[in-house]
Structure 1
Amino acid sequence: MRRDVIVTCAVTGAGETTEKSPHVPVTPQQIADACIEAARAGAAVAHAHVRDPETGAPSRNPDLFQEVAERVRASDTDVVLNLTSGMGGDLIVDDDDPSVPGEGSDLANATERLRHIERLTPEICTLDCGTLNFGDGNAVVVQTPNILRAMARRVKELGVKPEMEVFDTGHLWFANAMVNEGLIADPPLYQLCMGIPYGAPGDPGSMMNMVRMLPEGAQWAGFGIGRNQMPMVAQAVLLGGHVRVGLEDNLYLEKGVLATNGQLVEKAVKIIELLGARAVSPDEARDMLNLRKNA
């Protein structure tokens, strides 16, 4: 069991959640405020996507990321900022003509996917470590080994810590390969993403199996989506990991009660403390992950 736990809050994702809850932040100011709220509730790390302020659709516009980062850094809350770099791999396969990307596809090379990371050099950015059939429709998240290795090399050059997001055991296999190839600085940081259709199931056995595949000395966190969010908090702590909560993964505090990011962090911290552990500060998280703090 882990005694000192890093809590990450994923404040807004790329999913179609803005119409399901009024608490999902959309504008850069709302997203920055959500990061600050999460930090004040006990999160050491805030993980952020950005959205088109007018439509709420997911975006990879570097100007939007910059506004979020500047607002968070200008606040009196010293939170570790973790920006997504997972955008640019969205493929919608057309049933009638699979050779042509369907409406809603967004495909970009490694350089384009890292434009905002190059500009802002956050302490952490995500690195989704494999391709995945995303749900029951025609959506595929495309992350090829060539693209991922190129991104890993550039992120290492920038001094940014990649959080390697693994959605299934094959992703973890490839993440381990990048560690063995020297593309990832020590200590490697993994995020076990549980319950996303059709990746690893969100259950204790699946998380335990993935933990057994991690290299010695790795830092890792885990999360579950929907109703499995809080059970996976407990499971990750018991297995020696850190945790992630937030509105990217779950909209509810309890059945029928919509949550805020701060409330989800508070609930996670309570679970951690009831297990005899504690949530660490941002500076403690920096030491544990060997992060380069931004000025």
Structure 2
Amino acid sequence: MRTFVTCAVTGGADTVSRHPRIPVTPREIADASIAAAKAGAAIVHIHARDPATGQQSRDPELFAEIVSLVRDSDVDVIINISCGMAGDLVLTDTPSKQIAGQGTDLLGPIERLQHLNFLCRESRLKPELCTLDCGSMNFGDGNLVYLAPATYLRSMAQHIRSLGIKPELEVFELGHLVFVRKMVAEGLLDGSPLIQFCLGIPGGAPAEPLVLETFKRLAPEDSIWSAFGIGRDQMRFVTQAVAQGGNVRVGLEDNLYLEKGVWADNDTLVERAVGLIRRMGGTVLTAADTRQKLGLKKPTRT
């Protein structure tokens, strides 16, 4: 078992009020990414947050500062930039008067990738990976719907490929996986598909072993996959994924606690995952190993 670990260091949800050490500023997010890499993460999954409010941000300058700080460190880690913003439709309780309510953040497909375009202007800031959420879904049990229709996804996949970035295909339910297979059949993806099975998110597929097994069986044959469960299921799904030949994701985006009543940090979650993998007899891949596995080229620092 040769496993790479991804650390999702901050996410975009409103967790700042729920955890005393959620990384917010570019320096905090970069430092958390570096610490996670030193603990054994080969990939860091990065969102940006507004330093003044702590809320998720699409500001390209914030992403650029984070990536610059990570790349200027002496730590080798693969950078995976979130592209899951600007698809939020928050429905009002009075749709006959107005459908979109406060919190709605909707842009067209290419506009959702503005921060990628900005980063790709400099080779030293260009990420090796970015996420692509592979379908629409309810988020939670309220009024939030994430919109990612097929026409948008095809345009985004084509644009991401034109930038020379490998997409990590985020799959929250089986319909998303069906669309991944369709993109493969249509030639929209280069190389082996990289798929992230996102389990336990309210509105999506539950974090159950049977679900993971089903996802694995329905994924394209040559795909490389990773999986995570949220909250208390995070470490349980480290062992589930490794046992089924997959890779793993941990981090404060998905789970705030190391154990009951004990706040986690990104590096402590990575350390816990690394320990589990090794106790199962597995090998934890470095960033260099993972690049080779995924067919990536190490970015230049100039």
TM-score (norm 1): 0.98
Runs of 4+ in 1 over 6 A off after TM superposition: none
Does 1:175 pair with 2:176?
no
Instruction: Tell me, in whole angstroms, the C-alpha distance in 1 between the residues paired with 2:109 and 2:27.
Output: 28
Instruction: Tell me, in whole angstroms, the C-alpha distance in 2 between the residues paired with 1:198 and 1:136.
Output: 7
Q: For residue 244 of structure 2, what is the amino acid of its counterpart?
A: L
Q: Say which SS state the counterpart of residue 74 (structure 2) adopts.
A: coil
Match of 1:83 among 70, 81, 84: 81
Shift of 1:58: 0.7
Instruction: Tell me, in whole angstroms, the C-alpha distance in 1 between the residues paired with 2:287 and 2:28.
Output: 21
Instruction: Tell me, in whole angstroms, the C-alpha distance in 2 between the residues paired with 1:29 and 1:200.
Output: 34
Instruction: Tell me, in whole angstroms, the C-alpha distance in 2 between the residues paired with 1:7 and 1:213.
Output: 22
Does 1:28 pair with 2:26?
yes
Structure 1, unmatched stretches of 5+, are none
Shift of 1:216: 1.1
Structure 1 residues 22-61: aligned runs within 5 Å: 22-61=20-59
Does 1:109 pair with 2:108?
yes
Match of 2:271 among 254, 266, 278: 266
Aligned position for 2:61: 63
Match of 2:130 among 122, 125, 128: 125
Deviations 1:179-238 (A, max 9, x none): 111111111100000000111100101111110001111100000000000000000011
Instruction: Tell me, in whole angstroms, the C-alpha distance in 2 between the residues paired with 1:249 and 1:166.
Output: 15
Instruction: Tell me, in whole angstroms, the C-alpha distance in 2 between the residues paired with 1:210 and 1:284.
Output: 25
Shift of 1:100: 2.8
Q: Say which SS state the counterpart of residue 127 (structure 1) adopts.
A: strand
Structure 1 residues 1-295: aligned runs within 5 Å: 3-97=1-95, 99-120=98-119, 121-295=126-300
Instruction: Tell me, in whole angstroms, the C-alpha distance in 2 between the residues paired with 1:112 and 1:164.
Output: 19
Deviations 1:77-121 (A, max 9, x none): 110000000100011001102653100000011121111112223
Identity %: 52
Q: For residue 73 of structure 1, what is the amino acid of its counterpart?
A: R
Structure 2, unmatched stretches of 5+, are 120-125
Count of residues paired in the alignment: 293
Instruction: Tell me, in whole angstroms, the C-alpha distance in 2 between the residues paired with 1:293 and 1:151.
Output: 23
Q: For residue 186 of structure 2, what is the amino acid of its counterpart?
A: E
Shift of 1:293: 2.1
